């Protein structure tokens, strides 16, 4: 077969046309790519704003959400989700999505199993959204036999739980914020609040279970118990009976005070500060939510905020705050402020709701 030769000029033109079409195709595809909706960058948020966004997204996502935490370095909210559809909802709202294996329902089921089969004094468990697990911790009082029992239960939960040991001992920090005392010991005043226009203050429930009439550091009687919730919860409400100052602030023990203008939900990763009459002011981070602590003698408290902030006896009831927002009331924990430790707090928002009070 005889091939017809294409003149060099026509071949060059044909090549140029193909090149033009290729270039046009590339340009067209690039234009289409630029028009595709881009994933929005996570919004820069304060810890309090992240907590508010987390509350909204958890409500919107329902069963598709698997927990949240605050990335303090990036100043963004991270939301655990179960699928890509939920991830897109999270990203459009300005948070960072993270697809994980365990749903909140599965983690709640793990906690139910622990409650039924691992109720050992000297233990705690809390949901950790950064690992997407329930973290079970045993203190130094847990025996080898009890440890073996815990290991069996946790192993049966597979990837939903993990077990670890702490060198300290879990106990309420009752002894002695501003110190307040009575016949049963010494605690710390948490937050001044109001109810029906009258002044009250919040402290720990294990304090109001032990003490009914409260005096200040000079011995003046300043308050009488109105509400006490312990165990299960750990908050108490005391009505002022003396004409004393009750500002909405926290003593920083350096001649100044932090004004408190409202309350905020805790978020894992939130930077927090604790003030207490024994150890004064210490900072730390929220490490877990919905924590259960078994202090022994049947004293099991649920729904606590877990932190790496230290505390010691006498700090019970005192303030956990983030900026001008009240966050928690000191319940108990392990360790001390020399060697370090962990402390659990009653959420202030729950205490305010249950007692019908408000910050002010």
Give catalytic residue positions.
Answer: 206, 234, 316
For residue 38, give both structure tokens.
Answer: 């881009």
238 contacts 225 by C-beta, under 8 angstroms: yes
250: β partners: 258
Residue 59, SS3?
helix
Q: Which two tokens stand for residue 17?
A: 């046309």
> What are residue 214's DSSP bridge partners?
223
CA-to-CA distance for 277 and 312, rounded, in angstroms? 9
Count of all residues that appear for the chain in the document: 360
Distance CA 71, CA 97 (A): 12
Place of tokens 């958890």: 58
Q: Which of 134, 121, 125, 101 is nearest to 171 (CA)?
A: 121
Rg of the chain over all Cα atoms, to the nearest angstrom? 28
3-state helix, strand, coil in the chain (%, to 5): 30, 40, 35
Name the 3-class secondary structure at 290: strand
Give the β-pairing of 133-138 and 161-165: parallel
On the 0-12 / 13-18 / 19+ scale of CB atoms within 10 A, 137 is buried
Tokens at 356, concatenated: 């019908």
Nearest by Cα to 104 from 159, 160, 66: 66
Under DSSP, the state recorded for 76 is E
Of 176, 155, 359, nearest to 250 (Cα)? 359
């Amino acid at each position: 077969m005889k091939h017809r030769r294409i003149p060099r000029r026509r071949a060059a033109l044909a090549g140029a046309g193909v090149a033009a079409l290729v270039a046009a195709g590339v340009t067209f595809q690039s234009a289409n790519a630029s028009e595709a909706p881009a994933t929005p960058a996570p919004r820069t948020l304060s810890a309090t704003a992240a907590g508010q966004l987390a509350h909204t997204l958890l409500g919107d996502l329902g069963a598709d959400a698997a927990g949240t935490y605050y990335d303090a370095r990036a100043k963004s909210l991270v939301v655990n989700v179960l699928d890509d559809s939920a991830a897109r909802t999270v990203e459009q709202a300005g948070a960072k999505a993270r697809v994980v294996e365990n749903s909140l329902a599965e983690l709640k089921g793990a906690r139910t199993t622990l409650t039924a089969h691992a109720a050992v004094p000297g233990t705690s468990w809390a949901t950790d959204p950064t690992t997407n697990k329930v973290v079970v911790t045993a203190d130094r009082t847990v025996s080898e036999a009890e440890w073996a029992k815990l290991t069996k239960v946790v192993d049966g939960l597979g990837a939903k739980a993990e077990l670890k040991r702490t060198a300290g001992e879990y106990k309420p920090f009752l002894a002695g914020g501003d110190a307040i005392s009575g016949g049963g010991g010494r605690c710390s005043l948490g937050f001044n609040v109001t109810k029906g226009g009258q002044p009250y203050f919040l402290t720990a429930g294990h304090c109001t279970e032990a003490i009914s009439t409260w005096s200040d550091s000079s011995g003046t009687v300043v308050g009488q118990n109105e509400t006490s919730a312990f165990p299960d919860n750990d908050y108490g409400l005391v009505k002022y009976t003396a004409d004393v100052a009750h500002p909405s602030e926290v003593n920083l023990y350096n001649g100044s005070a932090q004004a408190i203008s409202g309350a905020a939900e805790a978020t894992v990763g939130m930077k927090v500060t604790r003030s207490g009459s024994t150890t004064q002011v210490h900072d730390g981070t929220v490490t877990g939510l919905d924590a259960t602590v078994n202090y022994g003698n049947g004293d099991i408290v649920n729904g606590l905020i877990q932190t790496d902030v230290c505390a010691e006896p006498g700090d019970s009831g005192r303030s956990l705050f983030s900026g001008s927002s009240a966050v928690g009331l000191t319940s108990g924990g392990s360790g001390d402020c020399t060697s370090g430790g962990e402390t659990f707090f009653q959420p202030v928002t729950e205490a305010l709701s249950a007692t019908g009070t408000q910050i002010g």
